[in-house]
Structure 1
Amino acid sequence: MSVLPMTAPAASRHPYTRLCAWLSKISLMAAVGMLVVIIVAVQVQVVGRYLFNDTPTWAEGLALQLVLYVTALGVAVGVRDAGHIGLESLAALLPEAWRLKLELLIHALVGVFGGLMTWSGWTWTRLKWDELDPMLGVPVGLDYLALVIAGVLIVLFSMEHMVALIRREEVVPSWN
């Protein structure tokens, strides 16, 4: 949440903001769907272990894989919805011109972090793509692809916040 005085959420009419809102909402819905699959996979694992004395290996591997994606998507959506750690108490004490600069700096640093996530995640995805996960039989690089997806979204959402700050508009959370 920004400490600058904002206008009505007119940013929702801007095509880039609508794109980011759509990406955020899709990410949130995908994360919720993956949480449901995690719950089912863990239940299959428990039933297999305690009722049939035969634990399916895919259930644990799938749950672990999906936890990575749920976390990555949740972090990205948190950036868009301003759920990340900020310096708002410090910013509130500053004159308005300095507040804008500080908030732009914060979003720029978050964007740089997202860029580093993307770059390092892609590096690891490529390096580990030829290795197979023994429990699922899929490339280990899929684990790191979650960082790439989250990093790209974080960069996009940080840029959205910077543009909104400059235009003195509000970024409306994706669940609205």
Structure 2
Amino acid sequence: MDLLTRFNATIARYCMYGVVAGVFVLVAVVTWQVFGRYVLNDTPTWAEAVALVLVLYVTLIGASVGVRDSGHIGMESFLVLLPERARHGFEILIHILTGTFGAVMAWYGYDLAAAVAPYKMPLLGISEAVNHVPLVIAGILITLFSIEHVIALVRGIEVEPSWH
């Protein structure tokens, strides 16, 4: 468990570094797009497409880290009304369902990416699969982080957020 926790915490931390960098790049691209449109009167055609791709990566990978660090709006909010024993069982069930969702998301994200890989994004000239890769990455991370939570719950410990 300690190895899995260290591994997941490291991955989550570096994913968040990437997400923060992605947000900075996203702001720069959108700023350039606005500057080009209103100041230069020459909108860069690639900027909107790049911004859309960046939004996918930032949101999906950031959300997967939110699963690990419990930074999401949890389905366990109503569980405070249950007795401790029932709450524990439902918490495990919620993480199993979340991990299953992540696995399905990764599986079908891969299928979708493979199906559209031959097609090119018109303004960027790169494979359309680039838009679906974050589904696969986030799905794998959600599954991995959910497994860590289930193991921690069974052992009676809490998952330490990666930012501590």
**Superposition TM-score, scaled by structure 1 size:** 0.88
> By how many angstroms is 1:165 displaced?
0.5
| Structure with the bigger percentage of helix | 2
> By how many angstroms is 1:89 displaced?
4.3
> By how many angstroms is 1:93 displaced?
3.0
> By how many angstroms is 1:155 displaced?
0.1
Gaps of 5+ in 1: 1-10
Q: Which of 125, 130, 137 is the aligned partner of 1:142?
A: 130
Q: 1:98 to 1:139 in 2, by over 3 A?
A: same
User: RCO (CA 8 Å, sep 6+): is it higher in 1 or 2?
Assistant: 1
Q: Which of 98, 113, 120 is the aligned partner of 1:125?
A: 113
Number of matched pairs: 164
Q: 1:113 to 1:62 in 2, by over 3 A?
A: same
Tell me the equivalent position of 1:3: none
Gaps of 5+ in 2: none
Aligned to 2:132, the other structure's residue is in SS state: helix
Tell me the equivalent position of 1:174: 162
Determine the C-alpha separation between the residues in 2 that align with 1:123 and 1:32. 28
Q: Which moved more, 1:76-85 or 1:106-115?
A: 76-85
Q: Does 1:26 align with 2:17?
A: no
Tell me the equivalent position of 2:28: 40
Determine the C-alpha separation between the residues in 1 that align with 2:53 and 2:105. 18
Tell me the equivalent position of 1:65: 53
> By how many angstroms is 1:95 displaced?
3.0
Q: Which of 60, 85, 88 is the aligned partner of 1:100?
A: 88
**Superposition TM-score, scaled by structure 2 size:** 0.94
- Asked whether the 8 Å contact 1:86–1:106 carries over to 2, the reply is no
Determine the C-alpha separation between the residues in 2 that align with 1:107 and 1:115. 12
Q: 1:151 to 1:89 in 2, by over 3 A?
A: closer
Q: 1:87 to 1:124 in 2, by over 3 A?
A: closer
Amino acid of the structure 1 residue aligned with 2:81: L
> By how many angstroms is 1:92 displaced?
2.5
Query: What are the Cα deviations for residues 80-134 of structure 1, in whole angstroms up to 9, with x where unaligned?
Result: 0113343434322333322221111000000011011101100110001110001
Amino acid of the structure 2 residue aligned with 1:25: R
> By how many angstroms is 1:51 displaced?
2.0
Q: Does 1:90 align with 2:78?
A: yes
